[in-house]
Amino acid sequence: MNIEISGLSKIYPNGHAALRDVNLEIGSGMFGLLGPNGAGKSSFMRILVTGQKATSGTVLINGMDINKHRQKIRPLIGYLPQDFTYFSKLKTWEFLDYAAKLSTSLKKKERSLKVDELLDQVGLLDVRERMANKLSGGMKRRLGIAQALIGDPKLLVIDEPTTGLDPEERIRFRNILSHLSQKDVAIILSTHIVGDISSTCQNMAMLNKGEVAFKGSPEGMIDQVRGHVWQVTLDNDEFNAIKTKYSVVSTIPMEGKWEAQLIATEKPHPKAKHANPNLEHAYVYFMENELGVSLV
């Protein structure tokens, strides 16, 4: 699977430029799309799944232009939108069967096998008879994945909801995706949750105000912040002073003091020591230093 995006721009009728000259190449495996709210992630994904047209630029999926070969490309794509919440009064298996009717030409018996195979894959076989709108939030999300997979897509596009799943569901969801990415499927996961990208994606891009601010591997992004992450234990007054000057990424209370991790290009305090950077540090660093967004 290969997706080539060149010079992609999206200007909405109100004049707002949601994407500006985006150039990316995405292959099989998990690709993470990171960026704050309003960065252009949903606009980008809607274009990719042929749900809306770009103002300019091209998207080639396995060499086919999405504007010229929509009928051929559409069956290759599975999409889980951010707001996948609509469930009519159907049982869990009926919902999936309905999705299969819409997007595949499988006969009743094959559909039934496919539905149960997918329910099993996403851990919902036990609740196949439950009304879909009575499933928990995490289960609905998994049913969403199952419907996106029904046509055996080669490109799976997932727009993460901004409201959280509980940690157990998050891990479960990530494991389902990692498992899928072993096959020749490209999975694009759009999120503002940095941890989801560092734990699952081989490649990533960061969007900000419609532009690609970084593209490469999560490790490559972490490399950019190396040497600028510090750890220091401070009393209350020192802590209050330092957090007005630098971005504090994490704090742990320690016997009346604070152990803080912060981002700074120079040593922020005489007692500060270098700490190991992670993707969250890199994200904060990027937002502040490369993009000039103040997080303090």
Q: 35 with 192: CB under 8 angstroms? A: yes
Single out the residue of 41, 141, 215, 281 in contact with ligand ADP (rule: CB under 6 A): 41
Q: Closer to ligand ADP by CB, 32 or 40: give it.
A: 40
| Residues touching ligand ADP, count (CB under 6 A) | 12
- Pick between residue 28 and residue 191 the one whose CB is nearest to ligand ADP: 191
Strand duo 203-208 + 211-216: pairing:
antiparallel
Residue 53, classified by CB atoms within 10 Å of its CB into exposed (0-12), middle (13-18) or buried (19+), is exposed
Helices (H), the chain: 41-48, 70-73, 92-103, 108-121, 137-149, 167-181, 194-200, 218-223, 236-242, 279-285
In sequence order, what are the residues at sequence separation of 6 or more whose Cβ sits closer than 8 angstroms to the Cβ of residue 241? Answer: none
Q: Does 81 bind ligand ADP (CB under 6 A)?
A: no
**Residue 43 binding ligand ADP, by CB under 6 A:** yes
Residue among 3, 18, 115, 139 that touches ligand ADP (CB under 6 A):
18
Q: Are 49 and 80 in contact (CB under 8 A)?
A: no
Among 29, 35, 81, 144, binds ligand ADP (CB under 6 A): 35
Nearest partner of 258 among 233, 231, 229, judged by Cα: 233
Residue from 26, 28, 31, 40 binding ligand ADP (CB under 6 A) = 40
Report the nearest approach of ligand ADP to the CB of residue 158 (Å): 12
- Residue among 100 and 204 whose Cβ is closer to ligand ADP: 204
93-112 binders of ligand ADP (CB under 6 A) = none
Residues making contact with ligand ADP (CB under 6 A): 12, 14, 16, 18, 35, 37-43
